[in-house]
Amino acid sequence: MTELSFEQKLQNYADLAVKVGVNLQPGQRLIVRGPLEAAPLVRLMAASAYQAGARLVDVIWSDDAVTLARFQYAPRDSFTEYPTWQAQGLIEAAQRSDAFIAIHATDPDLLKDQDPDLVALAQRTHQQQLQEYFAYIMADKVNWCVISYPLATWAAKIFLDGTPETQLDRLWAAIFKINRADQPDPVAAWQAHTQQLAARCARLNAKQYTALKYTAPGVDLMLGLPDHHEWHGGQKETLAGIPFIPNMPTEEVFTMPHKDRVEGVVTSTKPLSYGGVLIDNFQLRFVGGKIVEISADKGEAVLRKLIDTDEGAARLGEVALVPQSSPIAQSGILFYNTLFDENASSHLAVGRAYRFCLQGGPEMSDEAFAAAGGNHSLAHVDFMIGSDQMDIDGVLADGAAEPLMRAGEWVG
């Protein structure tokens, strides 16, 4: 097998995002959000989208340097300001059933010297302004996909040695490989992968465990699962029936925990990059589903702000399982980017639960969803707890436990 050229791999990556990820339908508009650096990819995606029948491709650009300038120089009382036209535009686009691609790439240390209160306030304002748009995304009323793009600042954080050029090359190689864009038939490779994830979900759904029991160094956790929970992973479908893959890469299968039935302690196994700040080596203790103790070696102030976002941010909204043999774990790279790191490791998320993780959840009132164990919050932030020392048991309705994962790998 001959190595594909960089241009071919970039083209594959663009085509994967448009045709497999968001699976743009003829006649749809495509909205792309991403950093200026990603322009070479965005241009290829635009061409790919028009060739697939897009009516209009619209791009909303972002830039780390502009974001940083705001934190450095904007009035301290201005962090509830927001470009409301953008929020309104996204809501209108969602109402029109447009397709959405977001390119998540940022310097993980961008805001490390900035006031955590302002970092949290900017995040909160962003979440509030886009709440109505996110509701469309979270309920799968539209087809959407999140991908990434290497930045020099980000590559320098990951690969400490080498020149800026070789650092960027290594990050490109990793992203192409993990996304299967370096394969001769990337589309077929993705089909095989999503079929495997679907089979795993089907097995877990048939089991209907009442709880998962986690054991590892620094972890002793009993995590309740609500009745009629549903596991998801890989490919999804919009309410109108368009298949799409929300995250590229994706290796996880996930569902929602019962917001009131989590007991014990977890310790993070990878740093969490949140709002431009790294939160590292942290421990959370749960009683009755609520976080009652927080400690962190790094970024504790920002972690506390996150947990304080609202009532639901102190409870869990997602539980995800990823074997240590996933290509991302195998790469051995710490990406400082949740899109990759969450797929390297089993994880949990504080905050909002996905309603589709409960049978009938999307149609429930807020009260009925909460009564069934569903968590509500403005926040939804994943953090990694998996390792090759983690054992997980599934607890059946009769109380019997059976091994689900051992030393970070699926049993059976």
Which residues of this protein are in contact with Zn ion, per CB under 5 A?
A: 318, 320, 342, 349, 382
Return all residues near 280 (Cβ < 8 A) that are at least 6 apart: 268, 271, 272, 296, 297, 298, 299
For the CA atoms of the chain, what is the radius of gyration?
Answer: 21
Closest CA relative to residue 194, chosen from 140, 248, 147: 248
Q: Are strands 99-103 and 144-147 parallel, antiparallel or unpaired?
A: parallel
Q: Are strands 272-274 and 277-287 parallel, antiparallel or unpaired?
A: antiparallel
Q: In this structure, what token pair is assigned to residue 150?
A: 């290497």
Secondary structure (DSSP) of 151-179: -HHHHHHH--SS-HHHHHHHHHHHHHHHT
Q: What angle do CA 399, 368, 382 make, to 5 degrees?
A: 70
Q: In this structure, what token pair is assigned to residue 343?
A: 């797929």
Neighbours of 241 (CB within 10 A): 6
14 or 353, CB closer to Zn ion? 353
Q: Alpha-carbon distance 239 to 243, whole Å?
A: 10
28 or 247, CB closer to Zn ion? 247
382 or 393, CB closer to Zn ion? 382
129 or 343, CB closer to Zn ion? 343
Report in angstroms how near the CB of residue 269 gets to Zn ion at its nearest.
Answer: 14
CB-based burial of residue 328 (10 Å sphere; 0-12 exposed, 13-18 middle, 19+ buried)? buried
Return all residues near 383 (Cβ < 8 A) that are at least 6 apart: 268, 270, 272, 279, 282, 347, 348, 349, 350
Q: How far is CA 338 from the centre of its chain?
A: 6
User: CA dist 189 to 14, 211, 339, Å?
Assistant: 15, 33, 20
Report in angstroms how near the CB of residue 380 gets to Zn ion at its nearest.
Answer: 6
44 or 339, CB closer to Zn ion? 339
Report in angstroms how near the CB of residue 351 gets to Zn ion at its nearest.
Answer: 9
Report in angstroms how near the CB of residue 127 gets to Zn ion at its nearest.
Answer: 14
Report in angstroms how near the CB of residue 113 gets to Zn ion at its nearest.
Answer: 27
Beta bridge partners of 316: 350
Report in angstroms how near the CB of residue 321 gets to Zn ion at its nearest.
Answer: 10
Report in angstroms how near the CB of residue 345 gets to Zn ion at its nearest.
Answer: 10
Residue that is written with structure tokens 């864009």 in the block: 181
Report in angstroms how near the CB of residue 44 gets to Zn ion at its nearest.
Answer: 28
341 or 382, CB closer to Zn ion? 382
Report in angstroms how near the CB of residue 327 gets to Zn ion at its nearest.
Answer: 16
86 or 205, CB closer to Zn ion? 205
116 or 249, CB closer to Zn ion? 249
155 or 384, CB closer to Zn ion? 384
